[in-house]
Amino acid sequence: MNIYSVASKNLLRRKSRTALTAGGIALSTWALATLLGFSRGYENALNRDIDNMGFQVLLTAKGCPYEAATLMLKGGTGLRYMKEDIVRSVASNPEVEETTPMLMQGVFDPDKGENGAVAAYLGVDALSFPRMKRYLEFKQGGWFRDNTAREAVLGYEAAELEQREAGDKLLIPGIGAEMTVSGVLKRSGTQDDGTIFLPIGTVRELFSRQGQLTALGIKVRKGADIDALENRLYDLPDVQVVSLAQVKTTIMGLVSGAKAVVLALALIAVIIAMSGVANTVLMSVMERFGEIGIIKSMGALPSDIFKLVLAETAAVCALGGVSGLLLAALTARLSETAARHFLPYAPGGALIIIDGRTAAAALAVILAGGLASGLYPAWRAARVRPVEAMRGEQ
């Protein structure tokens, strides 16, 4: 028997009170761990999405930069167009390794959902686009034969939504054009999962967009000066330059406000839980003044009593903390669904990562806070004078 087993048995004396306190700690740990997990997960997912784009700079027609950022990652509405000959002037820069033109087109599909919805098609170059998106793997089939083929490649989720497989026909609403599905991609955890890719020449022909682009992806040579390239691209007329760093900063800026509010709420939850711990432990100490006096009369030093009360505090915090971490891990996907609902932009893949690092950080905050809130009750207990405590008991 040691001081810790005595402490743990003391907690069993008021089971419901211990459970309620641990429950409060569990909830605040859950909030903290989920937030820390979100902070890491969101940034990782965003980085992965951006890295998987295959290009570091995007040129779009002049317009709203936020829309450009959204277009870059998700596809947008109210599209603007730029001239195709811009490809040559961009490619002539020494920093540019390769470019890939993209032409996005949206079509209203009255059969989609209850009231219809816009179906988006991304026209891509059959040669350069697959080279830049090397991480994309096919579940079935492969890329289209050339830039004018009447073929389509479906992202994993797009194929599920359209219920199509390689070899099936895909009808483009409104214009009555029929495509053959040449391939279905494996799940990539990025926005490509929900995209329908068409050859860029086919999109131009179907939608009468000859010589036009919505975006130009630019892959920069390794070690090249991206800033110098961007400065030169800014001089091009009627286009705007969106760099990977800008997109990331823009999106993180949008999300950081929400993160700050949630962090504040999580900290308030932690403070409330810690006040609960201080109150519970102090109440438990006051109830046991007589017993503490008896233990001191048996030869316990003030430091022994201090340790005993802190051990009780640590045990209840550890119990609540571990329960909260389990809760956070179990509800991560549910929290992620809620986060996706409220966020202005959510990248693909896991948004909340509850791993060892996140768990250790959350537990460390909870234990440190818990021990801090146990200091005063422990100090009060250590100061108990045996004779006064026993007199009070009688």
What 3-state class would DSSP assign to 8?
helix
Beta strands 196-199 and 57-61, pairing class:
unpaired
Number of residues that bind another protein (CB under 8 A): 25
Rounded least distance, CB 24 to another protein, Å: 22
Min. distance of Cβ 284 from another protein in angstroms? 12
Nearer to another protein, 3 or 19 (CB): 3
**Residue 387 CB, nearest approach to another protein (Å):** 4
* Least gap, CB of 19 to another protein (angstroms): 15
HEC letters along 142-209 = CCCCCCCCCEEEECHHHHHHHCCCCCCEEEECCCCEEEEEEEEECCCCCHHHHCEEEEHHHHHHHHCC
Task: Decide: 30 and 335 in contact? Cβ < 8 Å.
Answer: no
Candidate list 179, 295, 328, 382; residue touching another protein; CB under 8 A: 295
**Does residue 304 interact with another protein by CB under 8 A?**
yes
Amino acid identity of residue 56, one-letter, is Q
Residues 6+ away with beta carbon under 8 Å from 188: 52, 135, 136, 137, 155, 156, 348
The answer to whether residue 107 forms part of the interface with another protein (CB under 8 A) is: no
Q: Is 10 in the site for another protein (CB under 8 A)?
A: yes
Question: For another protein, which residue of 134, 235, 298, 356 counts as binding (CB under 8 A)?
Answer: 298
Q: Are 314 and 371 in contact (CB under 8 A)?
A: yes
Q: Does 373 interact with another protein (rule: CB under 8 A)?
A: no
For residue 188, the minimal CB distance to another protein (Å) is 56
> How many Cβ atoms sit within 10 Å of the Cβ of residue 259?
14
Q: Does 283 bind another protein (CB under 8 A)?
A: no
Tell me whether residue 115 is exposed, middle or buried, using C-beta atoms within 10 angstroms of its C-beta: 0 to 12, 13 to 18, 19 or more: exposed
For 75, 116, 117, 348, the CA distances from 120, given in Å and listed in that order, are 8, 13, 10, 18
Q: Which tokens in the block code for residue 286?
A: 């006051």
The answer to the question of residue 294 lying near another protein (CB under 8 A) is yes
Using the rule CB under 8 A, give the single segment among 69-77, 235-243, 358-366, 385-393 that binds another protein.
Answer: 385-393
Binds another protein (CB under 8 A): choice among 85, 146, 178, 393? 393
Q: Does 172 bind another protein (CB under 8 A)?
A: no
**For another protein, which residue of 12, 16, 137, 235 counts as binding (CB under 8 A)?**
12
178 scored as a contact of another protein (CB under 8 A): no
Q: Does 131 bind another protein (CB under 8 A)?
A: no
State the DSSP code for 14.
Answer: G
Binding residues for another protein, rule: CB under 8 A, are 1-3, 6, 9-10, 12-13, 290-291, 294-302, 304, 386-387, 390, 393-394
